[in-house]
Chains A and B, each alone.
Chain A
Amino acid sequence: MSGRVADAATNPGAHVGPSRLAPWLAMLAAYAVPVFFVLAPLTLFLGYSFFSVDQGDIVFTPTIANYVRFFTDPIFLPIFWRTCLLCLAVAVLCVLFAFPVAYFLTTLRGRRRYTLLVLLLVPLLMSYVIKIYAVRSILGGNGMLNKALLATGLIDQPSMLFVFNLNAVLLTLTVLLIPFAVLPIFLSLERIPKALRHASADLGASGAQTFWRVTVPLSMPGTLSAMSFVFVLAIGDFLTPQMVGGQSGFTFGRIIYSQFGTAFNWPFGAALSVILAAVVIVAIRLGGHAERRHGGAR
């Protein structure tokens, strides 16, 4: 049957295939925008990382000076590692919050599960900037959190632990990214055959034993991809640290951004971005996204 479609499509005489040019035109149409506005800019960007700047002008002579600077300058590497660690902490925190929610979702059925899932999806599409702003209003020096802590008598003056520093960035990113962690974990939990859990119970395992020795190991692909998902989103963010990080909350993303603003060193910024991209690729690989995508493509 499918031979017939191929026949009709390739036979220039049939009314279906207008000319021999058609496949090439189709290819051109399909590739034009992705190549011109994605591949070309990214390639140029990579190229820029090997240029340099001289008195505000970009020098188009290849050099690895930008990369050398990153690895030798005492400023950048510590911030880079600190940012990686911060984003890893965000990923772990998000998974800790998201796992129970995802598990709870799998225990629901029908309309209740659907409603809860939608309620978890809605914040994903809500304005990122607004969410940062909202969390900031809670974390501030006279924000809700401090007021609540004062009211309960836990502290007697506003705590500065989470006001305009890296802790604030950590908390804000965690709150912002939890929904991204829930979905992959939920999907992997849902895929675990019920029979396995029943078998575990039949063999005399308690609920807790089944959870720790059957459910958790089998949900690892989802958990890891949730972590890599959150990590990638966190490390690429420069808005959150800018908004709640203050003077001390400098992150890698913020440094890249500053190269295109105040510091005005595009080639160096490009080199830092290439390093960021490398980290992101590693994180995605570790999270097994590629494998999952193939599984999902079918």
Chain B
Amino acid sequence: MMRLADRLAPALLMLMTLVVFVLLYGPLMVPIVSSFFTVSRGAVDWSQPTLSAYVALMANESVLNALWTTLIVGAGAVICSVALGTGIALYYTSPHAKGRAFLQFIIFLPFLMPPIITGLALLIFFRQVEFERSLVTIIIGHTVFVLALVYRTILTRLQSLSESLVEASYDLGASRWQTFRLVLLPNLSSAMVGAAVLAFALSFDETMITLLVTGTQSTLPVRLWAMMRLGFTPDINALVALVLLFTTILCLVAVRFLMPKSAIEGSDED
């Protein structure tokens, strides 16, 4: 009877969810676990665990350089995109704003279009205006890529603020700058921090645009990409494990700042 199906359904749902989680997380376990063992002739030697891959990594100059590049690019992209995103969000909500929909459309383009299109367009553009490819071009690429998300996050928060807050501030004689610094900024700060973390995480992983607009330097994902084409080795696995650990932390921090209240509400907050 139908009753049986009704009773079976929840179990089936849980099973499917479990399968998806195995698909999402299972593959990642392979490099993480094998990073603690040595690989000889393409097969993992499970007999004794070792940290040698991690030690070797610390001495790998090209990886350390790539890490450094990634951090600089990430910081640059975060600063540019948060400043721009906040500015544009403020402009969007101001009564003087012209062509709001158009402006927003341009900002969303790099996010909606495949990264390969954004990357190639920038590549051609930089060549045309004879702008040499360097760290700066990577930062520009990352900034336009993450801008949509940063802008949207900040705008959403800005629009959720009560208008009377700003009106009260003006009524009390505050200047525009004072209103921004003393009223808006404190209310926006958590959205800005969340957006910054999110932007950093996206920049940290960005590969497709970077691959196209980079000069001689490579960021960590681009370096990893080059290493991975050679095969499955302990040093890649160790690097993979570290990067995964780092992005997971970043993601959890971002979620903490950005999760809509409604999602956490009802959960016993600590």
Contact = CB atoms under 8 A, between A and B. Distances in A.
B221 A243 contact: no
A256 B120 contact: yes
Interface in B139-174: 140, 143-144, 147, 159, 163-164, 166-167, 170-171
Interface residues of A, number: 97
A125 B106 contact: no
Contacts of A40: 125
Interface string A17-45: 10000010011011101110111111011
A232 interface: yes
Contacts, number: 263
B117 A277 contact: yes
B189 to A, nearest CB: 21
Nearest to A111: B267
A30 B30 contact: no
Interface residues of B, number: 97
Interface stretch (B14-22, B52-60, B61-69, B71-79): B14-22
B116 A273 contact: yes
A208 B6 contact: yes
B232 interface: yes
Contacts of B182: none
Contact of A256 (B84, B113, B116): B116
A138 interface: yes
Contacts of A27: 91, 96-98
Interface in A251-298: 253, 256-257, 260, 266, 269-270, 273, 276-277, 280, 284, 289, 298
Interface stretch (A78-86, A128-136, A153-161, A216-224): A128-136
A137 interface: yes
B202 A125 contact: yes
A42 B207 contact: no
Given A5-B166, A39-B106, A211-B9, 13 more contacts: A4-B170, A26-B94, A30-B91, A37-B144, A38-B110, A44-B125, A114-B267, A128-B207, A131-B28, A138-B26, A237-B114, A256-B120, A270-B120
Interface of B: 2-3, 5-6, 9-10, 12-14, 16-17, 19-21, 23-28, 30-31, 42-43, 84, 87-88, 91-92, 94-98, 103, 106-107, 109-110, 112-118, 120-125, 128, 140, 143-144, 147, 159, 163-164, 166-167, 170-171, 175-176, 198, 201-202, 204-205, 207-208, 212, 221, 224-225, 228-229, 232, 236, 240, 243-244, 247-248, 250-252, 254-255, 259, 263-264, 266-268
